[in-house]
Structure 1
């Protein structure tokens, strides 16, 4: 999510990092990289690159985004220097900005970028933590391949599990494949038995924002329940911009539940998504708003007196724990 926040994105890898390293608390102050805003030494220094390193590493990969190429150039230099002090070499650098890439030493660039003439050729498509990233268009993409697996439960499960989609970009498509798998399980089909004919042919930067809100839309049907989250940004002139953050979908359990209870499950999933996004996105948020088309869910949440069925009560408790009724 943080890689997508600002227009200039950077990614790099620590070379040959096979061990996790922990620095004793009493030694950490000696490893801070101090930065004075605007070069004014009278001001309180900030641990600029250190904060970037702390919040933007996933295992041995650093992924971050900033507003301007100049800022990206400064941060990439600081990170290379900061990590080199302890023997870590940042390599395989890629960015969606050619000006930034030009400042990265040639030997430290990603192999796919090394082959590109930055003066006249388009940037390639690389992977950011397993997700395809079209650097030239600065878009995430999905590579579609015709499945070579047999049209059986075993083959379908292998295809579904091979899809890596952490932010739910293609959830509307993968949920359909999961529905087919569940239907075949309900029919008690063997793993290597051909899929039922009717199933085989089923169609398948923040700018100057003055306020930021998360809006979670949750819904359910008899077969599945889903949530999709958008970030709403409004500037000081009242202009609004809405961006997709992530989506998630789950199949309804084989033991059939009534739709109102599935709608409640979707609402719980929305509150959990809210907690995860708020802890990771790194954007100051004024509030989160939850949307449902189920009056049953609204009444469940508003009910503070009537004794409820255990399944409902547990889910209502989970919602009340992290949200206010007005949300």
Structure 2
């Protein structure tokens, strides 16, 4: 707090004018951080503390749009430069003043000694803990870069792309270029009264001329030795060896749901170099949730696995991963991605394959990603497709970021022939789940870029199942990729020609079923005849319909029909049915009779003709016996009968 006063970042303030004054008092306390190289005792301001009206300052402030760079993007760019240096901006928030009128909302109460009287102070600068502070700080740096663009173009580009909050992580391809860039950055930031400190580099000329107060303290406090260990954006970096390392110090606490989550959260790995290890932990968390235990109940089912996992975590410090991806004189660069899935989850990993002018090949793990399988059960081929979907995202992201590497080939590898079958067909052939993901994958990575790899040669296999720490650090396939990737492409795996035939049944299981709809005009009488099996009922229905039509047409009630259906109405209905049936069955015969033509021979024997109602009747003369009082005599009688339907 004395430093705040001496630097002018805090000043005495008059007492607030009454209880209705537009002001806000910020509570504050100290936090100790013994492992900090610069500030071991920090002041923390609680700007979320509620006032008497139930609101805090953060509740009433806009946070502003997100201006932070993607930390993955910054780290991936950091791996491209041969010569790199890091630094942070000293007290970045406190170098940015706020207008005097706004300082009323940044009041604090402080006294240097318990014997002194309490006094009101203004905080004159952007305050850590205010929700808008990150936006204000980054926006100020971006405005400074814009204002000084013409004088320091290279430094302005770094401020726009290679800064994460107050950490600068950048580099060049030569020491001379790095020295010039460093000088530009210092002068650019000085224009805004910003100062660089905690500088580190893998090239000694960039830091050897600096005073110790400006260099990163790289002492290992546990061992007491001076080792090149620098923490950049959460990753341990050894500048002297130019490699990334990992350091995890688990605490010795009782195994509960709370402690397991706390320990796992201590592993910060933005590029997912430790995917096999973190996947093991993610799967443990999923099992914890499924058990439904309280936060402090020991999970007996997984205690043994957790203790085994925790005891091996210190061994992660033995892992060293080179920072620089490319060789000094690389001829070509290729991206190779691998994906895999198991019943526990799926994963993807991306490798950069560089070939120099001497023909030497270098393989580097760029980044990876893993996810546990959803609780809603999916088939293994569907999980394999989810792994391919994840790999397509990673390959698209890395290839768009590494444009300046002149990547000549992008290849995606999977050990699932079913997924290959899906990807090499049009998405519309598959059901919704498969179709949506296939369409996305084909948009990001063309189908011809996908190839088959054996499961034993798939690095993503271990990341989709999880490994213990001791298994991860010695897993050459994960860190260096398959051995054949170091050889000429002629020695790479080729796709079996008969593989699709063996998996045809599984591919067809996700085939979308096509439903063909045919619209036909069906007569109302046809529907009635089809849906009703009683002829008498059909006649009654038709008679009622005709009665309804008749009653609608007549004006007076005297001409309307009421009561039971009469015999004449039933006869009319029957004639309608006969005529309709004959028109359906004897359409050709009716047409010939209307045109006065001869009918077909089987029908012609019946001497058919059309009566006045348009019904076909036969004209055959039949002999009937008529009984009289004098005895029986035979007399010819002509009977007109309607032809039977089919």
TM-score relative to the length of structure 2: 0.44
Kindly state the Cα deviation for residue 128 of structure 1 after the two structures are TM-superposed.
0.5
1:222 lines up with 2:343 in the alignment: yes
1:164 lines up with 2:263 in the alignment: no
For 1:75, which of 174, 178, 181 is the aligned residue?
A: 181
For 2:443, which of 317, 321, 327 is the aligned residue?
A: 321
The equivalent of 1:64 in structure 2 is 170
- Looking at structure 1, the residues matched to 400 and 344 of structure 2 have their Cα atoms a distance apart, in angstroms, of 30
1:272 lines up with 2:393 in the alignment: yes
Q: Deviations over 1:91-115 (max 9, x none)?
A: 22111232321133444222447x9
Matches within 5 A, 1:128-277: 128-197=232-301, 200-201=304-305, 204=309, 205=324, 206=326, 207-277=328-398
Specify the SS of the correspondent of 1:20. helix
Change (3 A) 1:29 1:151: closer
Q: Any conservation in 2 of the 1:123–1:135 contact (CA below 8 Å)?
A: no
Kindly state the Cα deviation for residue 165 of structure 1 after the two structures are TM-superposed.
0.4
Matches within 5 A, 1:103-142: 103-112=209-218, 122-142=226-246
- Looking at structure 1, the residues matched to 162 and 141 of structure 2 have their Cα atoms a distance apart, in angstroms, of 18
Q: Deviations over 1:296-315 (max 9, x none)?
A: 11111112165322221121
Q: Which runs of 5+ in 2 are unaligned?
A: 1-75, 94-136, 310-323, 450-646
Change (3 A) 1:199 1:250: farther
1:9 lines up with 2:84 in the alignment: yes
Specify the SS of the correspondent of 1:165. coil
Q: Deviations over 1:262-293 (max 9, x none)?
A: 11111111111123223444533223211100
The equivalent of 1:310 in structure 2 is 432
- Looking at structure 1, the residues matched to 173 and 417 of structure 2 have their Cα atoms a distance apart, in angstroms, of 42
Kindly state the Cα deviation for residue 16 of structure 1 after the two structures are TM-superposed.
2.2
Change (3 A) 1:213 1:169: same
Specify the SS of the correspondent of 1:146. coil
- Looking at structure 2, the residues matched to 96 and 253 of structure 1 have their Cα atoms a distance apart, in angstroms, of 43
Greater Cα radius of gyration, structure 1 or 2: 2
Kindly state the Cα deviation for residue 323 of structure 1 after the two structures are TM-superposed.
1.9
Change (3 A) 1:32 1:149: farther
The equivalent of 1:40 in structure 2 is none
Q: Which runs of 5+ in 1 are unaligned?
A: 35-46, 116-120
Specify the SS of the correspondent of 2:448. coil
The equivalent of 2:631 in structure 1 is none
Q: Which has the higher contact order (CA 8 A, sep 6+)?
A: 1
Specify the SS of the correspondent of 2:168. strand
Q: Deviations over 1:156-200 (max 9, x none)?
A: 222222211001122211211221222233333333322234552
The equivalent of 1:21 in structure 2 is 139
- Looking at structure 2, the residues matched to 280 and 131 of structure 1 have their Cα atoms a distance apart, in angstroms, of 20
Kindly state the Cα deviation for residue 90 of structure 1 after the two structures are TM-superposed.
2.0
Change (3 A) 1:286 1:22: farther
Q: Any conservation in 1 of the 2:141–2:159 contact (CA below 8 Å)?
A: no
Matches within 5 A, 1:266-305: 266-281=387-402, 283-304=405-426
Change (3 A) 1:24 1:305: closer
For 1:54, which of 125, 144, 160 is the aligned residue?
A: 160
Change (3 A) 1:170 1:22: same
Kindly state the Cα deviation for residue 219 of structure 1 after the two structures are TM-superposed.
0.5
What is the aligned residue count? Answer: 308
- Looking at structure 2, the residues matched to 24 and 248 of structure 1 have their Cα atoms a distance apart, in angstroms, of 31
- Looking at structure 2, the residues matched to 141 and 31 of structure 1 have their Cα atoms a distance apart, in angstroms, of 36
For 1:91, which of 183, 197, 208 is the aligned residue?
A: 197
Kindly state the Cα deviation for residue 243 of structure 1 after the two structures are TM-superposed.
0.9
The equivalent of 2:493 in structure 1 is none
- Looking at structure 1, the residues matched to 202 and 251 of structure 2 have their Cα atoms a distance apart, in angstroms, of 31
RMSD (Å) for aligned C-alpha atoms? 2.7
